[in-house]
Structure 1
Amino acid sequence: MNDKNKYFDRKSQESFIDIFLKEDIKKGENFKRHWHEHLQIYYFVDGIAYLECGLSNFKVVSGNIAIANSNELHYLESLSDNLKFYTIRIEPSFLFSNQVDLLQTKYLAPITLNRIVFKNLIQNDSFILKYIKDILDEYDNKEIGYELSIKANIYQFIVFLLRNHVDKIFSEEEFIERKYSLEKFESVFDLIEEKYMDKITLKELADNMNLSTHHFCRTFKQITGKTTTDYINGVRLDKAIYYLKQTDLNMTEIAMRCGFDSINYFSRLFKKNYDISPTKYRHEHRDACSILLKNNNE
């Protein structure tokens, strides 16, 4: 598994917008929690996934549209082998003009700064779906003037979001505090990724931030929507998925490598999160993994 930074900056072939199709994320695989300064739109075409955006979490299915707001920690995990979705990432500079005007100050800057926060999940909205499909069609066909058409559709898309799907509007002070907390806790996320196989104490994490344990736990849950224990276990289960699919380690060895003291606790937690035992999960995915490894070696 390749580690990714929590701050995500994907270099685009286009300078103004980034659109790509993902259909290689199988059941149990995921994008790690990360954040970026772009407004990011997911359009789900097939399959089922679990998505976390900020403090919200939900299952998404075909036809759903999800929005990861600027500077919002988010995470996606596939719940099926046929997951297929488009991602649209919009560069702030694409929306801004060289000369600052009232519209930029009143609407675009607050969206980019995540002071205007949109609802994360949009279902059964034909207008939103039409904007998304028009953007994808223009980007795919690239006929003359397609950039202008995409920009027009994005502006209309944002207007519709502002009128129908705003979740919250933060003050400048609230925004600064939220972004500061996210950036400050990045070292904690890195520490958990590095030491997931070891015993990680709340005191160790709190000391890393020069905070009391109580203050650390409260702030951590405000940022991630999870208790520290649940977050750490989520990282460990993610690692377990890799070991189950890619190695021949037995269940005890996997549990120990992923930081679980007890094979029984590991099994209970795995089944609670994935509705399947780790043994059965390995059995269902072993054949597919063996074929994939064989093809890669040929």
Structure 2
Amino acid sequence: MEHNLTLYEKPYYNTTDFPIHFGSWIRGSNFSAHWHEHIEFLFFKTDDYVVTSNGISYKTKKNDMMIFNPFDIHSSEVLKDETLFYVITIYPAFFADIDLKNVMFQPHIQNDPVVNRYVEELYVAFQKETDDFGMEKKSIVCRLLSHLFQHYKIEALTENEILARKNQRKKIGEILKYIARNYHEKLTTASLAEEFHMNEQYLCKFFKRKTGKSPTQYINHYRIEKAILFLETSDYSMTEIAFNVGFDDSNYFSRIFKKHIGQTPREYKNNFSKQ
């Protein structure tokens, strides 16, 4: 289980050898808000996964696909124990002869049979051991991208829109990094506003627009993720864990934990120990 993805997700594949990565995940936990410089597709083989991209939440169904354009801030929330999905990552090297800096795709594609076919073809291609230098995989990805360009491309952004998007991503990135470094301290919307020289009301609206959560919701969510790590890997008491992740009231910690996870911290630890 992964709970602590960093804000900037570095490429996890040797992009100099081959600029496409295909993997499958069975995930029973959430991933925190982060962004990356490559294009990423999640293709869902099961229902009930909530993905938030740039502040908008989408409940996915089987055969849906989520597209994360470069610099899209995205996170997830699982609605059941296990969700199976494919991850297709296309690194910038693949687009060496194409200028994609101002092209964006729609984020949520719902059960498109053409997309489904190409994804399954790509899955089969990645199971093979061939000596064709990846030509079959590249061919399938090119056909997939051509279909997306024709049917799911958002109007090209202007240079000013690109700059504004990068500046907003930088600002929200700074706030999220600050929370990641200081989640165990006393954090409030007022203290965040003071730290980043922003009006408190504006900060709350900006944060919600970019992440889909209020600052308080996000901080609690992040703290619960950290608490899960302590529950799984340490012998700390519930009170010690609450304090270590920024809660000064263990009863409040327990209520927030149960609201997010569906069981109390102690119940979670006991169930995890039985696995």
TM-score (norm 1): 0.79
Match of 2:7 in 1: 6
Structure 2 residue runs of 5 or longer lacking an equivalent are: none
Partner SS for 1:34:
coil
Match of 2:41 in 1: 41
RMSD of the alignment, in Å?
A: 2.7
Match of 1:20 in 2: 23
Match of 2:229 in 1: 242
Q: Distance in 2 between matches of 1:134 and 1:281?
A: 39
Residue 185 of structure 2, aligned match among 198, 204, 207: 198
- Give the 5 Å matches for 1:20-169: 20-23=23-26, 25=27, 27=28, 29-45=29-45, 49-60=49-60, 62-97=62-97, 104-105=98-99, 108-111=100-103, 116-119=104-107, 121-145=108-132, 147-166=134-153
Partner SS for 2:87:
strand
Q: Distance in 2 between matches of 1:123 and 1:278?
A: 36
> Are 2:210 and 1:210 aligned?
no
Q: Distance in 2 between matches of 1:50 and 1:248?
A: 32
Structure 1 residue runs of 5 or longer lacking an equivalent are: 98-103, 289-298
**What does the per-residue CA deviation read over 1:215-273, in whole Å, with 9 as the maximum and x for residues that have no partner?**
32232222212211111111111112222222333333322222223333223322222
Q: Distance in 2 between matches of 1:241 and 1:235?
A: 10
Instruction: Report the CA distance shift for 1:204/1:168 in structure 2 as closer, same or farther (over 3 A).
Output: farther
Q: Which amino acid aligns with 1:15?
A: F
What is the aligned residue count? Answer: 272
Identity %: 28
Q: Distance in 1 between matches of 2:172 and 2:192?
A: 10
Instruction: Report the CA distance shift for 1:273/1:18 in structure 2 as closer, same or farther (over 3 A).
Output: same
> Are 2:247 and 1:260 aligned?
yes
TM-score (norm 2): 0.84
Structure with the bigger RCO (C-alpha within 8 Å, sep 6+) is 2
Instruction: Report the CA distance shift for 1:167/1:226 in structure 2 as closer, same or farther (over 3 A).
Output: farther
Residue 233 of structure 1, aligned match among 196, 215, 220: 220
Partner SS for 2:44:
strand
Q: Which amino acid aligns with 1:17?
A: I
Query: 1:48: Cα distance to partner?
Result: 5.4
Between 1:135-144 and 1:226-235, the stretch displaced more is 135-144
**What does the per-residue CA deviation read over 1:266-289, in whole Å, with 9 as the maximum and x for residues that have no partner?**
23322222233333322322211x
Residue 172 of structure 2, aligned match among 185, 194, 202: 185
Query: 1:131: Cα distance to partner?
Result: 0.7
Larger % of helix: which? 1
Provide runs of 4+ in structure 1 moved above 6 Å: none
